[in-house]
Structure 1
Amino acid sequence: MRPVKIQEAKKAAASQWVNLLLTCGIIASLLYIAMNIIVPMFYPGYNPASQVVSELSAIGAPTRAIWLVPGILYSLLVAAFGWGIRLTAGKSRNLRVLGTLMIISGLAGLAWTPMHRREILAAGGGSFTDTWHIVMTFITLVLMLALIGFGAAAMKRPFRIYSVLTVVVFMVFGILTWLASPGISSNLPTPMIGVRNAST
């Protein structure tokens, strides 16, 4: 094979690899949607409107094991997507930072610890895993805001406007979720907290 053809073959292989990594972003999104639709079906009494997603993987929850494997896969897919963004960033600093943050976000997903079920928390049975769960929630929120910011900076005006609107919605529903969250640890009704949580 001639050197030119070898180079072309290498470029084609590299391009396919990058496309595969970028496709991981789409797969990750579809997987997460599927998890939120399918997993609750195995949790008797779970109400997605009045319970947060974290309760599906809570210690003692009947769906913890079902959520765990696809949850790990989701995190790895997000990290792979971030790597793909970095490889296509070229000279764009914003895209490079975006890709790096996406990788960090994906790997951070592996550092989450589960919360306990509501009744355990209300009885004073919380532990370090619950505290770390809250810490990771805030870290994830900061990462998401940074991702939106650098993504907006790397794109054109229409996407920037969309990003600003996204942040506004994100902040409003995030605050509403936070205000209702004490009801979780007190095992009190939390109507619509699941909807607010999903909006963030």
Structure 2
Amino acid sequence: MAGRFEAIPGGGAAVALDEVEISILRSLAVQLLELIGPADEPAQGEDPLAALFTPGPSEPPADPALARLFPDAYGDPEGPGSGADEEELKEYSSEFRRFTENDLRDRKREDGVALVRTLDALTATGEGGAVLKLTPDDCRHWLGALNDLRLTIGTRLEVTDEDEGGELYRLPDSDPRKPMVMAYLWLGALQETLVETLMP
């Protein structure tokens, strides 16, 4: 079970983690939550229902990692089947973002918080680690958080689909990106085994 998720009765998943792995996962999740930002609290006296319908931002984030987490809904005007020009696509994306980004941020925030809480609830096995057991709901939150962590780190590393894995495996130990690359690859392995446990 070490280093990989395995299915457990009831539809959940379990993985053995040592203290260092727990610390790394928690630290990365906290950094992700800081990047996403806190939830907006309704102003005093404001109707909470009205706050749910508050429009979000209309422009994409300036930070490349946030832009990857919250991409434009409408892409390349030169793409197949696109009959819109660049200005139209920008307008459509802006309008779509206004009504969806807040909800997407909330969901990503919930995933990150769930990851941190499940790690904080772990009790040590006495060998410097613990066995993390996730419910089916926890698994969904973990999948979302692991995906967001990989997207964020991959953006910081400027990973593209073409160089996925190959060049990253060959970085010398002296390269300052090496620890981030190791975290990126490890998170990918965790995500892959978690997906496998959830497949029928």
* TM-score greater than 0.5 by the shorter chain: no
By percentage of residues, which structure has more helix? 1
- Name the structure, 1 or 2, with higher relative contact order (CA <8 Å, separation 6+): 2
By percentage of residues, which structure has more strand? 2
- TM-score w.r.t. structure 1 length? 0.29
